[in-house]
Amino acid sequence: MSKSFYVTTPIFYVNDAPHIGHAYTEVAADVLTRWHAQRGESAFLLTGTDEHGEKVLRTALGNNTDPKSWTDRLVKDSWLPLLETIDINNQDFIRTTDERHKVAVQKFLQKLYDDGFIYQGSFEGNYCVGCEEYKNDGDLIDGEGEFLGQRVCAIHSKPVEQLNENNYFFKLSEFQQKLLDHYEQNPKFVQPESARNEVVSFVRQGLSDLSISRSKERFDWGIDIPWDSSHITYVWFDALLNYITAIGYGEDDAKLASLWPADVQVVGKDILRFHAVIWPAMLMAAGLQPPKQVFGHGWLLVGGEKMSKSKLTGIAPNQITDAFGSDAFRYYFMKAIGFGSDGSFSWEDLSARYNSELANGFGNLASRSIAMVKKYFDGAVPAPGEYLEADNQVIAIAKKAATEADAAIDEVAIHEAIQKSWLLVDELNNYITSQAPWVLAKDEANQERLGTVMYVIVEGLRVLNVLLAPIMPKATGKLWAAIGEGELSAQTIGSAGQWGITKPGFVLKELEALFPRVDQAE
């Protein structure tokens, strides 16, 4: 089996329903995976849910139910439907309560224990249940409002809890130099650069061993430590392993080898250290390779702070998709926010971009182009005659858009891939204005020139159709049904910019409306 391009999202806590911050991560990972599939590669996207730990347990109990019933309901009613809402094409969905996961986590733990990477000890520290993490003093800030006078978690703005535990530790400190060497030898391992710098300087300061178990005297919602059933596994240690337990760790070596190491692990920058420090150290201890890349993206902000349900600033993804559709959701968040940077969402910006870029820019380009081929050539794509300078310019931009958008994806610069593709949308709209097919159509003597112009437009649309397929699967599916021959999935990104693929004489079909007018912004 050859290796597939393997992309992962974080697995999400099921203490609440998803908001657009979670959907943002899902869409980015999905676009990357679909792009690689459109290149003709085998590509695999894993996502799922993180169900153990105190945070989920407390929420379940607070809702007068047990954690398993709570997570079952939320996964079914909220998290799986999210994937439909924003059109995610994942190849697997893992829940940390899956039997396959639990068994493999125990195998992994036992191996590390047997190999001497785990020991028993005691620990005292400040725990943030929201982060499910012990905090250093430097991670805390002064509380405000009801927490005035207390030190609170900088992410959740809630007080931390003093814990004194007797538990098992992973020898993370032994991996400091190995990790630094790994960052040095693999400059792209943590991206973007700002994230990489933060991680490297964090590790340079030295690493403490990591407490990886919790006594059942406190709570027991987790996976049993295999050699000591009075302890359960720390939720992050359990959760990080999902990336390999889903693909056959300890069970199916061939499947594991066909996917691991992951090519891109997409995470929010809030959980970068877990993925770029603890996770590779765990893998090194088990004799496995670290992922090829961990990409830490920015936050969707509300009022300058990370959008979050606990702060009541979360917006449900379907509030947006009900009005604008999933393609617009995907396009907007991937284009409007540089991937890796923070960004704010606004209904006004979304609505303005929907109208100008999607409905007028792309949708209208497609519908009027097809309408003109119908009107002037009975729907049959005409053969091009001699190309003039204006035509050659479109051809050059089509090629450039395809090459540069593809290169941007290798840098995980999703916004740039869209910007590069959009140069062709703008060029085709300008070309239509400057060539004015409706003027050419007035005189029979211009028939050949009119044919060339219409061919250039349809062929340009085809290039766009392929490049935008990973971003807007629904609209490009409709466009392909009107202008394409064969399966859209068989059109590779690598050949998208080649000129002359549309066959003269091919009869265009009806085009369904791509971006219907949306009158209200909400």
Task: Provide long-range contacts, Cβ within 8 A and 24+ apart, for 226-232.
Answer: 226/106, 226/109, 226/110, 226/113, 227/110, 227/113, 228/168, 231/167, 231/168, 232/52
390 phi, psi to nearest 5 deg: -60, -35
The answer to whether residue 22 is catalytic is yes
- The helix (H) or strand (E) run that includes residue 484 is none
Measured distance CA(372)–CA(392) in Å, rounded: 21
Measured distance CA(407)–CA(294) in Å, rounded: 18
Q: Which is nearer to ligand MSP, 240 or 466 (CB)?
A: 240
Smallest distance, ligand MSP to C-beta of residue 329, A: 14
Q: Which is nearer to ligand MSP, 267 or 366 (CB)?
A: 267
Measured distance CA(9)–CA(25) in Å, rounded: 7
The answer to whether residue 306 is catalytic is yes
Smallest distance, ligand MSP to C-beta of residue 247, A: 14
Q: Is 105 in the site for ligand MSP (CB under 6 A)?
A: no
Q: Is 299 in the site for ligand MSP (CB under 6 A)?
A: yes
Q: Is 306 in the site for ligand MSP (CB under 6 A)?
A: yes
- The helix (H) or strand (E) run that includes residue 469 is none
The residue within the footprint of ligand MSP, chosen from 29, 57, 307, 337 (CB under 6 A), is 307
Q: Could you say which of 52, 131, 158, 182 is catalytic?
A: 131
Smallest distance, ligand MSP to C-beta of residue 96, A: 9
Residues in 44-73 at the binding interface with ligand MSP, rule: CB under 6 A: 50
Closest by CA position to 168, among listed 221, 217, 227 = 227
Q: Which is nearer to ligand MSP, 301 or 395 (CB)?
A: 301
Q: Could you say which of 36, 102, 153, 478 is catalytic?
A: 153
Q: Letter for the amino acid at 167?
A: N
The answer to whether residue 131 is catalytic is yes
Q: What is the DSSP letter of 343?
A: E
Smallest distance, ligand MSP to C-beta of residue 118, A: 19
Selected range binding ligand MSP among 69-77, 303-311, 360-368, 382-390, rule: CB under 6 A: 303-311
Closest by CA position to 339, among listed 415, 422, 421, 417 = 415
Measured distance CA(233)–CA(212) in Å, rounded: 6
Q: What is the DSSP letter of 15?
A: T
Beta bridge partners of 97: none
Q: Is 328 in the site for ligand MSP (CB under 6 A)?
A: no
CA distances 142 to 148, 164, 408, Å, are 7, 23, 41
Q: Which is nearer to ligand MSP, 284 or 390 (CB)?
A: 284
Q: Which is nearer to ligand MSP, 189 or 234 (CB)?
A: 234
Residue 244: CB atoms within 10 Å: 26
Smallest distance, ligand MSP to C-beta of residue 219, A: 17
The answer to whether residue 135 is catalytic is no
Q: Which is nearer to ligand MSP, 23 or 112 (CB)?
A: 23
The answer to whether residue 182 is catalytic is no
The residue within the footprint of ligand MSP, chosen from 270, 349, 411, 512 (CB under 6 A), is 270
The residue within the footprint of ligand MSP, chosen from 29, 223, 267, 405 (CB under 6 A), is 267
Question: Burial of 217 by CB count in 10 Å (0-12 exposed, 13-18 middle, 19+ buried)?
Answer: exposed
Q: Which is nearer to ligand MSP, 157 or 364 (CB)?
A: 157
Number of residues that bind ligand MSP (CB under 6 A): 21
Smallest distance, ligand MSP to C-beta of residue 296, A: 8
Smallest distance, ligand MSP to C-beta of residue 239, A: 4
Smallest distance, ligand MSP to C-beta of residue 10, A: 4
The residue within the footprint of ligand MSP, chosen from 192, 222, 268, 473 (CB under 6 A), is 268
CB 127 within 8 A of CB 134: yes
Smallest distance, ligand MSP to C-beta of residue 181, A: 24
CA distances 487 to 83, 478, 501, Å, are 23, 12, 14
Would you give the binding string for ligand MSP spanning residues 8-47, x where CB under 6 A is met? --xxxx-------xx-xx----------------------
Would you give the binding string for ligand MSP spanning residues 207-246, x where CB under 6 A is met? --------------------------------xx-x----
Q: Could you say which of 3, 107, 111, 156 is catalytic?
A: 156
CA 436, 438, 439, 441: dihedral to nearest 10 degrees? 130
CA distances 453 to 23, 390, 503, Å, are 41, 9, 15
Place of tokens 């359990």: 238
Q: Is 75 in the site for ligand MSP (CB under 6 A)?
A: no
Closest by CA position to 284, among listed 126, 199, 170, 407 = 170
* Chain centroid to CA 82: 13
Q: Which is nearer to ligand MSP, 306 or 353 (CB)?
A: 306
Q: Could you say which of 255, 309, 399, 474 is catalytic?
A: 309
Secondary structure E strands in 98-139: 118-128, 133-135
The answer to whether residue 374 is catalytic is no
Q: Which is nearer to ligand MSP, 102 or 478 (CB)?
A: 102
The contact set with ligand MSP (CB under 6 A) reads 10-13, 21-22, 24-25, 50, 239-240, 242, 267-268, 270-271, 299-300, 306-308
Active centre residues (catalytic): 19, 22, 128, 131, 153, 156, 306, 309
